[in-house]
Structure 1
Amino acid sequence: MEAALLFFAVAFAAAVLLLVRLRRRDLGGPAERAAFETLHKASLAAPALRRGLTRTGAEKAARHLRELLDADDLAITDREEVLTGPRDGVMALAAHSLETGRARVVELPGGGAAVVVPLATGAGVAGTLVAFGGQASAGLVRATEEVGRWVATHLELAELDLSRELLVEAEVRALRAQISPHFIYNSLTTIASFVRTDPEQARELLLEFADFTRYSFRRHGEFTTLAEELRNIDRFLMLARARFGEERLRVTLRIAPEVLPVAVPFLCLQPLVENAVRHGIEGRPGPGRITLLAEDAGAECRLIVEDDGVGMAPEEMRKVLAGEGATGTGIGLANVDTRLRQVYGDAYGLVVETAEGAGVKITLRVPKYHPGVTAR
C-alpha cells in the first residue's frame, strides 16, 4: 500500500515537472494548457495536505481545490466539524458520506447542488470534500470524486508519515530504556572511589556523568548534529577510561571537521561505542583499543566504530541485528540498524565485520542532506 501511494505521488510530481518543462518551451493547444493548469493547481494544494487533515492545511488547500473544480464554493470537513468553507448545514450534508463512505449529490433547498465525497484512508473515512455548484453536472460530480480520491491519497501518505515518526520515537524510547544499568552502576561506583583519593577528579566525572545522562534522556528531537553525538561519546569514554584506566582502554579518534554539522539520528553512535566497550574490551585480557572514524564521503558521511576485542561469530551477529540475540548481547545494535533503515531506507543499515577473536568493525553511512532530517 505504502509503495503504491508513493508511486502515485512520485508519478504525479514527474508529470508536473514534465509539464513545467513543456511550458518553458511550448504548451501547444488549449488542451495542453488546460492539463498544465490542472496539475499546477493540484501541486499547490498537495503540501498543505501532507501534515494530515488539519484546519490550517484544509484552508490552504481549499483555495486551490476550489479553482481546480471551478466550484461556486468548497468545504472540507473532518469527522466532527467543518474545517474550511461554508458552515451552515454542511455537517448534515456530510453525515451520510461519513457513515457509509459513499459519495452523494444533494439538491439544496434554495437552489443549486452539493457534491459530497468521502475522504477515505486506510484508517477509515477521515472527512469529506463538499463542492457547491449551480447544478450537479456530470462533470462536477466526476471531478469532485477524482479530486476527493487525490486528497485522500495525500492524507493517507500523511498517516504513513505520522506512523513512521511514532515508530522512530518508540525506538528511541526503547533505546533509552536499554542504556546499560551496568554502565550507570559502574560509573557511579568509579566516581565514589575518587571521592576521598581525588575529590577534584570525582567532581569532574560527576559533572560529565550528569551531562551524559541529560543528553541521553532529553525529550525533544529525533535528530542531532554529529558534533553533539560525538561530544556525548567523549563523556561516555571519559567515564569508561576512569574505570578501566588510560592504559587498559585506548581510544583513537579521526574526525573530519567538515562532517561535524551533519544531522544524524539521535543516539546512533553511543550504543555502538558502548557495545565495543562492554562486549569487546571488557571481555579480553590486557589493553584494548576503540577506533572511531568520521569521514567525508561526498554526498554522505561515513562513520566507523571498531574495536580489537573478542569479536563474535558472524551468524551470532546476524541474530543480534535481527533482534534475536541473547539478553544483553549487542546493546542497541538492532535498534540503531532499524532506525537507520526507517529514516534513510534499507541501503543505509549497519554493515558489521566480525569473527571470533577478531574484534568488531561497524560501518554506517548517513546522507549529508535528507528530506525531513534536521537537527534540533
Structure 2
Amino acid sequence: MVSPAVDIALIAAIAIITVAVVSLVGFKLSRSSRELGSEAELATYNTLHTAGLAGPHLRRGLTPDGAAKAAGYLRGMLDSSRLVITDEAGVLAWDPQTEDRDADAMVLAAKVLESGRTQVYRRPPETPTDGAAEGFAAEAVFSPIRVQERVVGTIGAYSGQVRPSLVRATNEVAAWVATQIELAELDASRTLLMEAEVRALRAQISPHFIYNSLNAIASYILTDPVRARELVIEFADFTRYSFRRHGDFTTVAEELRSIDRYLLLERARFGDRLNVSLQIGPEVLSTVIPFLSLQPLVENAVRHGLEAREGPGHITITGRDDGEYAVLGIEDDGVGMDPERLRQMLAGHTAGDHVGLRNVDSRLRQVYGDDHGLVIETAPGAGTLITMRIPKFQPGHEV
C-alpha cells in the first residue's frame, strides 16, 4: 500500500513536469512567433516573395509565355478566384487556365483599354451565385497596365463579390506589372543602344583603317606579291570579325586574334616603329567581354599614341586573373593626352578623336555598371595606360 506522503510527492512531481512542459511549449511558440513576425509582417513577406517569383517571367515584356507563367503568382497575390491578363489585342493568359471565355474577357477589358481607367463589373441581380466559384458568373475588376501614359494591357481579377480592397490590390498589381514591362523595354532599349554603338564603332574603324591597309597592301604588290597576298588574307579575316552580325559578346581569346590581325596590317605601314608585347594569363582567355572592346583601345594606342610621335613606340597588352575579375590593360609610350580634356570627352561634353574610347567606356558601364568603366592614366608626353575589370562569371551573356 502506497503511503499518503508518496501520493503527495507523486502529485507534486506530476505538477512540476506539467508546468515545465507548458513553459517549454510556450517558449517555443513565443520564439517561433518572434522569428516569423506578426501576421502583417508574414503577409508582407509572402507578397514580396510571390512578386519576386512572378517578376522574372515579365522581364521580356508582356508576352503570352511570360504572362502564362506569371498569372498564377499574380492570382495568389490578389487571392481571387480567377485572373486574366490581356494585351491590347487579346487574352494572353488565364489562371486557372481556360480558353472558352476569351471573348467575354476582352469585352470587359475593352472599356479599360479605351478609357485607361479601372472598371468594376457587378453581377446582374438575376444571375445565380452558385457559379461564382468558377469565376465566370462572379464579379470582376479590370485594371489598366499603363506604360509611359499608354495602356498596353489589363489585369482582370474575378471574385464572388468585388470589394474595395480587391480594387485597390488589382490596381497595385497592374502598376507593378507595368513597372516590370518598363524594365523590359529599358533592357531592350539598352540592347538596341549597344548595337547602335557597335555599328558606330565599326563605321568609325572602317574608313581610315581600310584606306591605310589597302595602301599598305598596294605597296607590296610589285615588290613582294607573297607578302601582299598574306596581308589581303589577314585583312579579310579582320574585317569579317569586325563586321560580323551575330552576338554582342566575344571572348578575350577571340578579340586577341582580331588584334593580332590588326597589328599585322599596321606593321605593314609602320615597320620597325611598332613594337608590341603580350602578357596574357591563360586563365583569362575564356573570359567573356563585349564585342570590340579591346581592339578599339589598341587602335587608339596606335593612332593617337604612336603615330604622332617620332621614332619607335611600344604597346603592351596585359591580362591577369584577379579573383572574380579579369583585369585587361593596354599601355603605350606615345604622346599621351590631357586628362581634363579626356574626362570631358568621356563624359560626352566635348567632341574629339577618341570616339572608340568613349564608345567602349559607355558600353562597359551599360553592361556591368558604372564601377566597371575604363580607368585611364595619362598625361601629355607620358603615354597612356587603359585598364578594364571584367567579371569572369557572366550568366546570360552568350558568345
Paired with 2:283 and 2:366, the residues of 1 have a C-alpha distance of: 25
The yes-or-no answer on 1:138 pairing with 2:161 is no
Look up the equivalent residue of 2:262 and give its one-letter code. Answer: F
Q: Which residue matches 2:93?
A: 84
Look up the equivalent residue of 2:371 and give its one-letter code. Answer: A
Deviation at 1:36, TM superposition (A): 4.7
The yes-or-no answer on 1:67 pairing with 2:55 is no
Q: Which residue matches 1:281?
A: 306
Contact (CA 8 Å) 1:225, 1:375: kept in 2 or not? no
Matches within 5 A, 1:6-45: 27=36, 34-45=43-54
Deviation at 1:331, TM superposition (A): 3.8
Q: Which residue matches 2:382?
A: 358
The yes-or-no answer on 1:333 pairing with 2:357 is yes
The answer to which of 95-104 and 220-229 deviates more is 95-104
The answer to which of 84-93 and 283-292 deviates more is 84-93
Deviation at 1:100, TM superposition (A): 2.9
**1:364 partner SS:** strand
Q: Evaluate the alpha carbon distance shift between residue 309 and residue 63 of structure 1 in structure 2; reply closer, same or farther with a 3 A threshold.
A: same
Matches within 5 A, 1:241-260: 241-245=267-271, 247-260=272-285
Q: Which residue matches 2:64?
A: 55
Q: Which residue matches 1:237?
A: 263
The one of 109, 120, 135 aligned to 1:94: 109
The one of 175, 188, 195 aligned to 1:162: 188
Paired with 2:149 and 2:39, the residues of 1 have a C-alpha distance of: 40
Paired with 1:67 and 1:231, the residues of 2 have a C-alpha distance of: 53
The yes-or-no answer on 1:296 pairing with 2:321 is yes
Q: Which residue matches 2:251?
A: 225
Deviation at 1:79, TM superposition (A): 1.5
TM-score by length of 1: 0.86
Contact (CA 8 Å) 1:283, 1:310: kept in 2 or not? yes
Gaps of 5+ in 2: 1-30, 95-100, 128-136
Paired with 1:256 and 1:226, the residues of 2 have a C-alpha distance of: 11
Deviation at 1:38, TM superposition (A): 3.7
Deviation at 1:64, TM superposition (A): 2.2
The yes-or-no answer on 1:171 pairing with 2:171 is no
The yes-or-no answer on 1:375 pairing with 2:398 is yes
Contact (CA 8 Å) 1:320, 1:333: kept in 2 or not? no
Deviation at 1:324, TM superposition (A): 5.0
Deviations 1:330-359 (A, max 9, x none): 241111111111112222221212222211
Q: Evaluate the alpha carbon distance shift between residue 92 and residue 282 of structure 1 in structure 2; reply closer, same or farther with a 3 A threshold.
A: same
Paired with 1:138 and 1:325, the residues of 2 have a C-alpha distance of: 55
Paired with 1:46 and 1:193, the residues of 2 have a C-alpha distance of: 60
Paired with 1:174 and 1:82, the residues of 2 have a C-alpha distance of: 40
Paired with 2:260 and 2:147, the residues of 1 have a C-alpha distance of: 47
Deviation at 1:325, TM superposition (A): 5.1
TM-score by length of 2: 0.82
The one of 267, 285, 288 aligned to 2:292: 267
Q: Evaluate the alpha carbon distance shift between residue 217 and residue 41 of structure 1 in structure 2; reply closer, same or farther with a 3 A threshold.
A: same
**1:88 partner SS:** helix
Count of aligned residue pairs for this structure pair: 351
Deviations 1:158-199 (A, max 9, x none): 122222222222211111111142221111121222223333
Deviation at 1:262, TM superposition (A): 1.0
Paired with 1:34 and 1:184, the residues of 2 have a C-alpha distance of: 64
Q: Which residue matches 2:336?
A: 311
The yes-or-no answer on 1:147 pairing with 2:173 is yes
Paired with 2:355 and 2:47, the residues of 1 have a C-alpha distance of: 53
Deviation at 1:287, TM superposition (A): 0.8
The yes-or-no answer on 1:118 pairing with 2:140 is no
Paired with 2:207 and 2:256, the residues of 1 have a C-alpha distance of: 21
Q: Which residue matches 1:18?
A: none
Gaps of 5+ in 1: 1-21
Paired with 1:71 and 1:64, the residues of 2 have a C-alpha distance of: 11
Deviation at 1:212, TM superposition (A): 0.8
**Greater Cα radius of gyration, structure 1 or 2:** 2
Q: Which residue matches 1:322?
A: 347
Compute the RMSD of aligned alpha carbons.
2.3
Deviation at 1:260, TM superposition (A): 1.0
Paired with 2:259 and 2:149, the residues of 1 have a C-alpha distance of: 41
**1:179 partner SS:** helix
